[in-house]
Structures are given as C-alpha cells and as structure tokens.
Amino acid sequence: MNVTFIGTGFVGVVSAAVYASFGNQVIGLDVDENKISSLKNSKVPFFEPGLEELLTQQQQAGNLTFTTDYKTAIRNADVIIIAVGTPSAPDGQADLKYVFASAESLAPHLKTGAIVAIKSTVPPGTLNKVEKIIKNKTKTKFFTASVPEFLKEGSAVQDTLKPDRVVIGAIDQEVFEKLEKLHQPLNAPIVKVRPESAQMAKYSANAYLATRITFINQIADLCEKNGADVNDIVKAIGFDKRIGQHYWYPGLGYGGSCFPKDVKELAAYSRAVNENDNLFNKISELNENRIPKLLRKFEKEVGGWENKQIAILGLAFKPNTDDMREAPSTKIIPILLSKGAKIISYDPMASWKGFFRLDNLEENHQQAGTIKEAVKNADVIMSLIEWPEITQFDFSKTKHPDKIQWFIDARNQFHPQTLQQQKYQYLGIGKTN
Ligand code: UDX
C-alpha cells in the first residue's frame, strides 16, 4: 500500500518507519525543510531506542522516503495519516491549526478513493471538520478515518510493532477493510468503532492512566502519615485482578508530552460540551502541586536547600528518552536554584542546554558527564528518573567518607536498608523510614 504520514514528529517518524517495515511504500511529509533534510540522511532529531536503525534500513530498502512537497506525497497515496502536533491552546483546548492546515494542503492532490486518517490526538468532532475542509477544495471522492496512537516514548518502536490493540474509527466498510489490511502484520486485536469513539478512547486511556498515577501518589502521602508503605499497598491490592500490579508506581507525578496536555484537554472538552470538568481539573491540579509539595517536605528533612550541593540524576521525563517536556527536573532545578542550592545534574541522554537552547547553563548549575562526577561531593542526591544506569549504579563506591549525604529516591527504586547501610540518609516516597 502507498502510505503517507503528514508530520514527521515523534509519532510520524516512528509510525512511518514501522509501516515501511511491513513492505508498504511510505512517504514522510513535513513542511519543516531542516527536519526533512536530516531525515533524508537518516538522522532523527531525538533519541528513541532502535529508531535510527529501522529508519536507515527502510530507506536503504527503498520503502521509505521523505519530502516537503504535498503533491509528491499525496498524489499516489492510498492512505494519508495526519500525525501533526496538536499543542494545547491557552484555554486548555487542543489547538488544531496544524491538522486543519494539512487538510487544506493535501486536498488538491488526493487520488480517488484515498483514505485520510487522523492519528494526532484530537477531540471528537474533528474528523467532520477535516472532511469539510477537504470537500471545499476538491471534488475527488475520498474517505476519512481516525486511527489514534497509543505508543510510549522510550519503547515506541516496540509499542508500534506489538501494540496491545489497534483502534480504527470509521463509518464505511471499505475503509475498515483497507485499514484492517494495513494493520494485519501487527497481529494485534483490532477494535473497529465510529470515529468519535476512537477519539474518546485515546483521551480516556491517557486520562485514566494519569488518574491512576495521581491516585497512588495521594495514597503515598497518606502512608507517610501512618507508617504504611505504599509499595506494600500496590502489591496487596494489585493481586485483585480488577486492579493489577502494573503502571502505578508512585513518584513525582506524571510528565511528558501527552498526559498533562490530554487531561487538560479533556477538561476543556467537558466544558465545551457543558459537562462537569471537576475530575480532570482536580487530577491536573494535584499533579501540578505534587513537586512543590514534595520539595517542601524534603526541604524540611534535609534542613534547607541553601548552599547545599545537590546531584540531580535524570533530566528526561522518563527513562530511554532525551525528551524533557514536563520533566520533573525542569520544575525541581529552578526551585532549588532559587533557594540558593548548587546543582550538578546528570542524564544518560538528555541535555539541559540543548532542551532550553542555552549557550551556558544557569549560574550554580553544571551538567556532569558521569553519575560519579555528579554525586562526588553532593550533600543531597536526588534520583528522579529510573534510568537503568542510575538504578543499577553502585552508590557504595561514591559515598563520601565524612559527609552526611541524603539520598532522595523519588521513584522508590532503591532498597532503603542497603543505602542506609552505606551510610546514606534515605528518603523515599510513601513510606516512613
Ligand atoms: C503516554 C501513554 O502511556 C501512551 O499510551 C500515549 O500514547 C502517550 O502518553 P508516554 O508519555 O510516552 O506515554 O509515557 P508513560 O510511560 O506512559 O509515562 C507518562 C508519565 O507518567 C511519566 O512522567 C512517568 O514517569 C509517569 N508514570 C508512569 C508514573 O509516575 N507512574 C507510573 O506508574 C507510570
């Protein structure tokens, strides 16, 4: 099949490479010339395990090309998948301007019977608007569909190759058949629904997972008041099949490019359709307050931040990515600096300077090249992200012989007793030590 992805951001590039690997002829289209010229040279502007290799392989096999030209990308496409960004507007709603602009630009070049599918996260009703925009520009017969994306950063290639399910939202039987065929190699359950359900499914999945994380963080706070251990709670209630053990480790709250935005968008959508937005607002609010609240607690325990040397381990929003959007580090470091702390940060992949496009780091902030260098003279070590390099590091080798060193285990990844035996002052989440 000839498949074109509009938008070569994270989702577009990963999906384009994976769909090409099934033998489809795939074109990635973007209006950003710089992005396209680096992708033509198999250079991906972000870190994602396995992606550059797959991209190179598919380009060399002749299955995958990139262009900035709409006509080249659209005229032979059987399926066009819109995967452009949908940033949040100031009122919290999804800003759909890139989706609409791509619909306008693709319309004049459509071939008869092509399917235009939206993969970007968009509120219900968007597909009708896109259909109208295209119809205003062409008399060619075309179809529309919604194919939301559920991949996670850091495991995006694997998630796309082996999804838990594929959701196809459409009206026409012909569209279901074609899109089912396209997704057959994934060997995943296919959920065929109307477009509105597909769009709601994406928001619901993300908002539910964000709620789950917020819930366990609230439980963690209660555990600290009464001697319970939140890890024991997860284990104990997780045996209930309705609840499960996975995907609700407590910590600093959820970050990244999806959850914070999608929960707020669902609140905005609720308001737009005159429904109650309380639940989604509360989830956002609790998540946004989480880091300041925890920092106030830790500040008391360590006796203030002023003049403390603090090693921040993990700048990205999660392991196996260099993405720092809504990462805990971006909230914690400015607060600590404003309180007079000195920071040495470390991340295996993410660069503070790169993310903030800085020539120099802030005063009192250095980024170290190794964990050892970061923690060497630290008064406080804060392990923010569960990168294996960090969680498997032997901190006994770096313990300062004379200094009191605090170890803040912000994701409960370490054994408190081990660190205590190594003479660290251990602080975790949701447990008293
Ligand atoms: C998420 C969804 O999982 C994915 O299906 C959707 O397509 C995009 O949004 P992603 O943002 O890449 O994916 O990462 P994810 O692994 O889901 O983590 C999101 C945030 O929640 C991270 O900040 C993570 O640290 C946090 N998290 C996750 C927790 O605090 N506890 C958990 O148990 C799981």
- Predicted pLDDT at 433: 67
Q: Is the CB–ligand 1 distance for residue 206 below 6 Å?
A: yes
Task: Let me know if 394 is exposed, middle or buried by CB neighbors in 10 A (0-12, 13-18, 19+).
Answer: exposed
CA distances from 9 to 62, 141, 288, 305 (A): 21, 29, 26, 38
Distance of CA 394 to the CA centre of its chain: 29
User: What pLDDT sits at residue 432?
Assistant: 83
**One digit per residue, pLDDT tens: the chain, 433 residues?**
999 999 999 999 999 999 999 999 999 999 999 999 999 999 999 999 999 999 999 999 999 999 999 999 999 999 999 999 999 898 899 999 999 999 999 999 999 999 999 999 999 999 999 999 999 999 999 999 999 999 999 999 999 999 999 999 999 999 999 999 999 999 999 999 999 999 999 999 999 999 999 999 999 999 999 999 999 999 999 999 999 999 999 999 999 999 999 999 999 999 999 999 999 999 999 999 999 999 999 999 999 999 999 999 999 999 999 999 999 999 999 999 999 999 999 999 999 999 999 999 999 999 999 999 999 999 999 999 999 999 999 999 999 999 999 999 999 999 999 999 999 999 999 988 6
Q: What is the pLDDT of residue 300?
A: 97
Sign of dihedral through CA atoms 376, 380, 385, 388? Answer: positive
Candidate from 317, 325, 383, 429 with most ligand 1 atoms within 8 A of CB, to mutate = 317
- Which pTM was predicted? 0.96
- Kindly state if the Cβ of 153 falls inside 6 Å of ligand 1: yes
Ligand 1 in contact with 152 (CB < 6 A)?
yes
How far, in Å, is the centroid of ligand 1 from the Cα of 177? 32
> Given the CA of residue 150, which atom of ligand 1 is nearest to it?
7
- The catalytic site residues sit at 258
What is the number of the ligand 1 atom nearest to the C-alpha of 327?
23
| Distance between Cα 152 and ligand 1 center (Å) | 7
